[in-house]
Amino acid sequence: PIGGVKEKVLGAVRAGICTVVLPKENEADLEDLPEDVRQEIEVHLVGELGEVLALTLRGATFREGQLLFIDDAPRDVSRLSPGFAH
């Protein structure tokens, strides 16, 4: 679980974000949000990293061997040392 859910969600709404992803363990914290905020946002409760990736990378396409989230790394994993690629 994470702390400060109410503050984080309210900040997201103020920034114009309308979808948030939270750990399932924080579901009860949503009750602390004002009703109008709960109606305004779409909340996805997740239990695993795979669920986060499926939600956040929805519609994205990647080539086989392409690295994710590492801006300065080579895009082709075959150029990396075997120990690093695994």
State CA 48 to chain mean position distance. 11
Q: Is the residue at 36 inside a domain?
A: yes
What Rg, from alpha-carbon coordinates, does the chain have? Answer: 17
From residue 5, alpha-carbon distances to 10, 11, 77, 85, 86 in Å are 8, 10, 37, 35, 34
44 versus 75: which is more confidently predicted? 44
Q: Is the residue at 55 inside a domain?
A: no
Q: Is the residue at 56 inside a domain?
A: no
Q: Is the residue at 27 inside a domain?
A: yes
**Backbone φ, ψ for residue 44 (5° rounding):** -115, 120
Q: Is the residue at 31 inside a domain?
A: yes
pLDDT in tens, 10-35: 999 999 999 999 999 999 999 999 99
Helix residue ranges, H only, 1-86: 5-14, 35-40, 49-56, 82-85
Residue percentage of the chain with pLDDT more than 70? 69
Quick one: pLDDT band at residue 62, thresholds 50, 70, 90?
low
Tally the domains of the chain. Answer: 1
